Amino acid sequence: MFSAPHTATAQRMVQTFNLGYDNGTSAFTPGATLYGVTSRATATILSTGDINSGTLIIFDIVGVFQDNEVITDTEISESSIEYTVPHVKPKLPQGESASRYNILLNNDEIGLSGAGVGFAVVNGNVSETLDVYGQPSKTPVTSLISCRFFNTVVLDPVSGKVVYSEDNLGVMYGPGTNLLLGDTLTSTDAGYAFTFTVSGVKPSTALGILHHYTAKLTRVS
How many CB atoms neighbour CB 7 within 10 A?
A: 11
User: pLDDT higher for 153 or 95?
Assistant: 153
Say if residue 205 is in the same domain as residue 183.
Answer: yes
Is 8 a residue whose pLDDT tops 90? yes
Say if residue 21 is in the same domain as residue 124.
Answer: yes
Q: What is the pLDDT of residues 13-42, one digit of tens each?
A: 999 999 999 988 888 999 899 998 888 899
Say if residue 122 is in the same domain as residue 148.
Answer: no
pLDDT reported for residue 165: 62
Sequence-ordered list of residues with C-beta below 8 angstroms from that of 197, at least 6 positions apart, any chain? 182, 183, 184, 185, 217, 218, 220
Q: What is the pLDDT of residues 58-101, one digit of tens each?
A: 999 999 999 988 888 875 543 433 443 333 444 555 554 444 44
Q: Does the residue 133 lie in any domain? A: no
pLDDT reported for residue 164: 60
Q: Which domain holds residue 209?
A: 6-12+140-219
Say if residue 114 is in the same domain as residue 37.
Answer: yes
**pLDDT > 90: what percent of the chain?**
46
**For residue 197, which phi and psi values (nearest 5 degrees)?**
-105, 135
Say if residue 23 is in the same domain as residue 122.
Answer: yes
Q: How confident is the model at residue 158 (pLDDT cuts 50, 70, 90)?
A: confident
pLDDT reported for residue 106: 36
pLDDT reported for residue 192: 84
pTM of the model: 0.68
Say if residue 80 is in the same domain as residue 164.
Answer: no
3-state secondary structure of 143: strand
